[in-house]
Chains A and B, each alone.
Chain A
């Protein structure tokens, strides 16, 4: 008989490892990727692939350079890469994808200590970095089925998103609810189709990767505020459905705001966080300079997360409130 192992209990553990969870997230992102590819063509796939491959590569290079154990096996870099690609317009130049990946993996994630240590969502921070650096390229949206060329210089006719049509009074046809729901609209690669994102959400719920709290409360609060205060004809004249289906609300609420590292731990904390996100999205959309506020709203609540965690610890079993 071999020597027996001796260790303190517990002796068994779940098989639901970090990479299994990350793989679940990747699977959940696939419907949205398929719709993105269908609506915007191969170019969209190329953008997402470039982001993903460069994200994994930057993480690998960083760990080699710093002589750390390689962490690409946990698949978190793949998730970040896909998320970044989802937040870019299909016309995004490939060098910009790589620049975004660098900012995301090295500056936002690695500099702060890697997995679980970053204070803001890496993909969103990278998106905001790209927005600040190359604003016109970041809003070079195209109409659905515009046939963006794969490699050659892109000069397809840009087409404003539904939100910017409304906000900035740009010319264009406001899409119908059904178009917004299915994804037949202009926008970032991953954000166009609500139904694809909802399929991913349901998958994540079934696999118990995330809870319903943050996405449902976030989307609900945004919709209700828009309904109550977003209309042009006084209270309760806003468009609930339009406000939640347009922009990147579903992508943000389901996949970005629920990032483990940058969202609160307890259910009470998650409610506060989600309500905060919803309010901020409404405020930015209504009064801010940008037509869309989901990224900024989530980033702002990300940095508030340590504070929320501090004020909402779980109430200990058998200890009274006063203690």
Chain B
């Protein structure tokens, strides 16, 4: 089985063997649950509960604060004890609704199954997805309902479920594909109906043969859905590169996937869509991989959103070695956190804790122009030059070298034999250019 792929990329040690065969366990919530008002790209949500209010599972506690924004729901039943700034995974403090969990998990009265899919119109589906607060759960957290609205700039003709999961250590999507195959396919079918398309793909890297096999068996009962094995390579799960691999189409610089007729949704997102449409339950939990060389037990958990990561780590047996870094998400693109009070939010796919042995090293030698970064860059940029001009803060030259096309996959920084970390300079320049553009 030789999967489709793109040009460039890297092969880091995937280290998925630790948790890929561990079935998903369902975790209860912690005593105190934290719901930051920003769990998505776009405007903050606005809190609609006050201190002292009684809340229930699935109840809206914050309303979308704009077009690109999302509702936030309580994942437990209990009492609102505070609405205050609280540490957020992104390193800042963000206004957060704190709920004391009563341990009952009573469902809110508004949660009831929707009409069968056959009777739902595309507009109704979009509305359900919007109300359910579903965002891209691969980490980008873009509100999903916007993707499901037919775009103005072109015809969409296919929906791709992104089951690549190319980041090392992560196995949450893998477990969902294997254990909740039907949910993923239902979610894809619903998304296809919302967009009025008849072609759907489930794209899975070929290091998950069990997932490909079970998906192929189940997909036979769905019209127009094909399972596409992909070659195992990082960053295969990048939106532009999965489109390239599956359809052969190239998203032009600055373009959206819809400009080439594609909509890409994450595995767990598809599952969340299916749950919301069939049961009416909004997005209140997600699958999280717990791993890394400092953790006692590797796990795949179904975690209620808002659970502090310290609680999840304790459930996994705590640390066996003192961690020097804790990462939310994968080791290539995830966020390092400074403390374990931060909660699981909608985009948190993993909690990885590492000792120094597993981590990136600091700069050890100068750039010797080996060209490994150029060969690996999936956007065909020249990271060594971007790094050099970035150091000199030469923004014009950076623009000329198409720095804004960088998808920040980190392949260049991973491969650099001198650990020059060109991505850091690229990121700083992109921020500067972005700010200058807003003025």
Contacts and interface: CB of A to CB of B under 8 A. Distances in A.
A4 B326 contact: yes
Interface of A: 1-14, 16-21, 71, 74, 76, 114-117, 260-261, 265-266, 313-320, 323
B402 A12 contact: no
7 contacts: A10-B410, A19-B365, A21-B370, A260-B371, A265-B374, A316-B381, A319-B253
A4 B339 contact: yes
Contacts of B227: none
A314 B405 CA distance: 13
Nearest to A9: B333
Contacts of B419: 13, 17
A117 B366 CA distance: 9
B414 A13 contact: yes
A317 B413 contact: no
Contact of A261 (B240, B253, B368, B415): B368
Contacts of B322: 1-2
B77 interface: no
Contact of A2 (B324, B333, B402, B417): B324
A2 B340 CA distance: 12
Contacts of B410: 9-10
Given A9-B334, A10-B414, A318-B255, 15 more contacts: A1-B319, A4-B339, A10-B333, A10-B360, A11-B325, A12-B168, A12-B359, A14-B414, A17-B417, A115-B365, A116-B366, A316-B253, A316-B380, A317-B405, A318-B252
Contacts of A12: 12, 168, 331-332, 358-360, 414
A14 B336 contact: no
A247 B189 CA distance: 67
B427 interface: yes
A121 to B, nearest CB: 12
Contact of B417 (A6, A20, A314, A317): A20
Given A1-B322, A4-B339, A12-B360, A318 B253 contact: yes
Contacts of A14: 12, 414-417
A318 B405 contact: yes
Contacts of B414: 10, 12-14
A142 to B, nearest CB: 36
B196 interface: no
Contacts of A2: 322-324
Given A11-B334, A12-B168, A316-B402, A18 B365 contact: yes
A6 B380 CA distance: 29
A115 B405 CA distance: 29
B417 A21 contact: yes
Contact of A18 (B335, B339, B408, B418): B418
A116 B368 contact: yes
A306 to B, nearest CB: 10
Contacts of B332: 9-12
A4 B351 CA distance: 14
Interface of B: 12, 91, 168, 240, 250-253, 255, 319, 322-327, 331-339, 354, 358-361, 364-371, 374, 377-382, 384, 402, 405, 408, 410, 413-419, 423-424, 427
Contacts of A3: 338
Nearest to B13: A12
Nearest to B410: A10
A317 B380 CA distance: 6
A238 B168 CA distance: 54
B364 A4 contact: no
Contacts of A318: 240, 250-253, 255, 379, 405
A13 B336 contact: no
Contact of A5 (B336, B377, B381, B427): B336
Nearest to A21: B417
A316 B366 contact: no
A1 B326 CA distance: 12
Given A4-B336, A6-B91, A21-B370, A317 B240 contact: yes
A115 B368 contact: yes
Contacts of A76: 368
Given A7-B336, A17-B417, A18-B368, A319 B324 contact: no
A11 B360 CA distance: 5
Contacts of A261: 368-369
A16 B367 CA distance: 14
A265 B377 CA distance: 12
B318 to A, nearest CB: 10
Contacts of A20: 417
B361 A13 contact: yes
B331 A114 contact: no
B353 to A, nearest CB: 9
Nearest to A208: B372
A17 B364 contact: yes
A10 B370 CA distance: 20
A320 B240 CA distance: 16
A315 to B, nearest CB: 6
Of all A-B residue pairs in the complex, the 4 with the closest CB atoms, nearest first, are: A10-B410, A116-B368, A314-B380, A265-B371
A18 B369 CA distance: 11
A1 B323 contact: yes
> Which of B325, B339, B369, B427 has most A Cβ within 10 Å?
B369
B69 to A, nearest CB: 25
A224 B168 CA distance: 46
A4 B337 contact: yes
A3 B414 CA distance: 24
A247 B292 CA distance: 53
A5 B323 CA distance: 9
> Which of A8, A13, A17, A114 has most B Cβ within 10 Å?
A13
A203 B413 CA distance: 25
Contacts of B369: 116, 260-261, 265
A16 B419 CA distance: 10
Nearest to A113: B366
A18 B417 contact: yes
